[in-house]
Structures are given as structure tokens and as C-alpha cells.
Amino acid sequence: MRGFLASSIGVTCAAALALPLTLPAAAAPASASASAARSTSGARTASTTAAPDLPGSTQSLPLTPRTRDRTLGAAPEQGLTRDDVHRFSLVGVTWSDPDTELRGQVQVRTRATGTGEWSGWRDIDTHNEDHGADPGTAERDSGHVHGSTAPLWVGDSDGVDVRVRADTAATRTVGNTDEQPSFLPTGLHLELVDPGAAEAPAAGARPATTNRTATPRLAATELPALSRQATERELVAVGGKVQPYIGPRPRIVTRHGWGADEKLREKGFVYTKKVKAAFVHHTATGNNYRCSQAPSVIRGIYRYHVKSSGWRDIGYNFLVDKCGTIYEGRAGGVAKAVMGAHTLGFNTNSMGIAVLGTFGSAKPSSAAVTAIAKLTAWKLGLYGVNPRGKTYLKSGGGNLYRKGKNVRLNVISGHRDGFATECPGRQLYGKLGSARSTSARYQGR
């Protein structure tokens, strides 16, 4: 029955996307080898070109001082101007120590490929330290993790100008000394990411099989939407337990569907026991993308998280675009309790959902909010969780709650509920009440 179900929805062992759907009673962490430090994913490269057969590329360019003031050992302004780089579509800035905060402003302007026109200056969100693996985990302590800004989607570009300025009005404590003016972290690099072209069939394509139980030759590009009854039948077919309230499974574009290069991430998966809460994020990549470009944006974020920030995989468990399409994020099975790197201190027994865009002043689309409701109704329903309820999560450490503290949170929370941050933006955060009510309604509550 398990083999038939896998083939009937077009999922392969290679994809490992939705099956098995049985919920692990006590899922074990990945093996030591799977959690070991990667050999190349976190490494920086001085090359500004990529081999033509690689699906995408990352150019990592060191920033240089723009002033002679080195009072604190580091110039308060650094930058870079290049008009001879390999084409890219997503940018960010990284630095050596992930525990060091960049207190200042990062701005970038880019030259569009084809037209040669330069954009105006755009701000890059510097508050990205609130994402990432929990302190003390193998992923966080791999030795390859860097501090990083949020990535910014700029579109197809071949020239860049970046400036990073320290906030000289801010102060920080250095060791046991008095507070000193803030300065820029060491090892600043500009990351230029070419997401590459997806080598996947068109969305909705189904792999061919020789018979009903044969393994498909190609991975599925999507998991189709199911009715509530079909969702329950699928759970029963694979030995899962049907909960009293469960939302119908929404359509989900798989990693294969958005063109994930599985060679980038670490092998193996890390699981927690259950999913008790969902944290909603925005990617802070900007809103200047078309829905048809969403797979490229996600491939860019994926590459940035792994190659530039040094994480084992993309941080979010799911992503949602402005048209309401849901995408699988971190690998390991969409129905399973996969540990992500989305909410520093609260990655255990939770999932992270990121809406593509920036929502401090811009409002999220109604389609995106509805997608959050549909996704949480299904995924939380698998674990018997009420989207309108409260739950307790134990903090792994952060700037709001000490390590080990049991924190009472909304089942559907915003990133800022677990960490002092602007994420998911004021406008998206204000829609979470509606998402909770709608999600519960999809569950039949």
C-alpha cells in the first residue's frame, strides 16, 4: 500500500518529500555524519565566475574601507563598486562571527543586465541574526556559520555598488570595559547570488511509471491539493492516525518543483518530536518579483542560506509567494517535524513559514494570508493542534527568553513573538489573527 500511494501521487525516494506520512513518535536526530560540518558549503570563493555547468553561482567579494578613520581598528564605512561581475539576481552581506551584530546601514544599487541602467539605493535588512539554528546545535556549531544580512532580490544584474556604514550613535560593551561606539564586524563580504535556471518539468507534470507500484523515474514537481476525506484516507493508508480536526492538504510545490540543487545541502535530516507551533516570517527580500519568478527567488535564498550563511539547508520549512503558492522548504518530508533554522531559540517542535516579500509598510496579499491558513490547518492538524490555541515551547536561548524557559505562545505566532525583531513586518503580523481563525475553520472547528 505504501508503494502504491507513493507512485499514485508521483513521489520518489530520491525526492523524499511527503512520504512516509506517518508521524514519528520520537524522531531521532540525524547521524553524526549528517550533522557534521560541510566541507564546501560555508566556504568563500574568490572567483567571480562560475563553471558553466553549475546550476547557479555565488560570488563572495571582500569589502574595503571607504574612509581612513580606523579609530576602533575597523573603518566605519566599507564598500565595493564592481561593473565586471558575473550576472546575479540576489545580494546580501556576510561577516565572520555569527554572534556579532551589524549595527549600521547596508545599502546597494545594481545595474540591470540588458538595459545597463542603475537602480536607486536600496536598504538591505541587517537584522538577520534572529534567524538560524539554535545555540548549541550541530548546525550552529559547525564552524561554517557566518553573520549575515537578509538577502535582497534585485533581478537580473551585472554591476553592483554597496556601502556599509556603522551606526556611530549606537554603543556596545567591549569585554569588561565601558560602552564604546559601535563599529562594523570583521570579515565583511558582498554575496552575489545567481539562482541558476531550474531543470525541472513544468509544474503539474507527472513522472511516468511502468506499473502502479513501480518507482517513478522522476520526482514530482508538486503534491496536489486533497479534500479532507482524501487527506484522511492517505493518512490511514500509510498507518497514520486521523485526528478529530485536520484541514485538507493544500497544493505544495516540491523542492524538485522549484529546482533545488540537492548537492548544495547537507545529507541527512534532523527531526524533532512534533509540531506544536508555526512561526510566520517575511523573507525581507523585497516585493519586486513576479509570481513566475518565485522559484528563482527561493533558489537564491536557498543558495544564500547554505553557501553564504553556512546553514545546512534553507532555513524555512515552507515558503509562500504573493499569489498564494506554497513551496516546500527544508528537506526531510513536508508532513514530518523537520527541524528548521527560522526562529533562533524556538526551532524545536515548531515549523517556519516565510512569505516572500517585505511587509513593514507593504500589505501582504490576501492570497498569501489564505495560504498560511490552509497550510497550518493541514500541518498542525496532523499533530492534533488547534491553530487558535496556545502552546508552550522551551527556549533554546535568544534575546527575549533565557535558555530553558518555558514560553507560552500562540500556536500561530509571528517571528517577533520568539525573538526581538521586526519580522514578519508590521503589516503581516497584523494579519495573523485572521490567519488563525481561518485556519481553525479549515480544520472544521
Tens of pLDDT, residue by residue over 12-62, are: 333 333 444 544 443 444 433 333 333 333 345 444 433 333 469 999 999
Alpha-carbon distance 282 to 343, whole Å?
12
Q: Which pLDDT score, from 0 to 100, does residue 74 have?
A: 57
Asked if residue 38 lies in contact with residue 264, where contact means CB atoms within 8 angstroms, the answer is no
Asked if residue 342 lies in contact with residue 282, where contact means CB atoms within 8 angstroms, the answer is no
Tens of pLDDT, residue by residue over 340-368, are: 999 989 999 999 999 999 999 999 999 99
Q: What are phi and psi of 70, to 5 degrees?
A: -125, 40
Q: Which pLDDT score, from 0 to 100, does residue 75 have?
A: 66
Dig out the grid coordinates for 268 from the structure: 541527512
Dihedral sign for Cα atoms in the order 89, 320, 325, 339: positive
Q: Which pLDDT score, from 0 to 100, does residue 353 have?
A: 98
Per DSSP bridges, beta strands 318-320 and 277-282 are: unpaired
Alpha-carbon distance 83 to 140, whole Å?
35
Give burial (CB, 10 Å; 0-12/13-18/19+) of 45.
Answer: middle
Per DSSP bridges, beta strands 122-124 and 147-148 are: unpaired
Dig out the grid coordinates for 9 from the structure: 501521487
Classified as helix, coil or strand, 208 is coil
pTM of the model: 0.83
CA angle 328, 331, 337 (to 5 degrees): 90
CA angle 122, 125, 130 (to 5 degrees): 175
Higher-confidence position of 55 and 287: 287
Alpha-carbon distance 127 to 369, whole Å?
23
Q: Which pLDDT score, from 0 to 100, does residue 45 have?
A: 46
Alpha-carbon distance 428 to 368, whole Å?
10
Dihedral sign for Cα atoms in the order 350, 390, 361, 344: negative
Alpha-carbon distance 402 to 342, whole Å?
18
With a CB cutoff of 8 Å and minimum separation 6, the contacts of 102 are: 93, 95, 126, 147, 149, 164, 184, 185
Most confident by average pLDDT, 181-190, 326-335, 400-409: 326-335
Residue 198's pLDDT band (boundaries 50, 70, 90)?
A: low
Cis ω on the peptide bond leading into residue 424 (within 30° of 0)? yes
* CB neighbours of residue 83 within 10 Å: 11
Asked if residue 79 lies in contact with residue 107, where contact means CB atoms within 8 angstroms, the answer is no
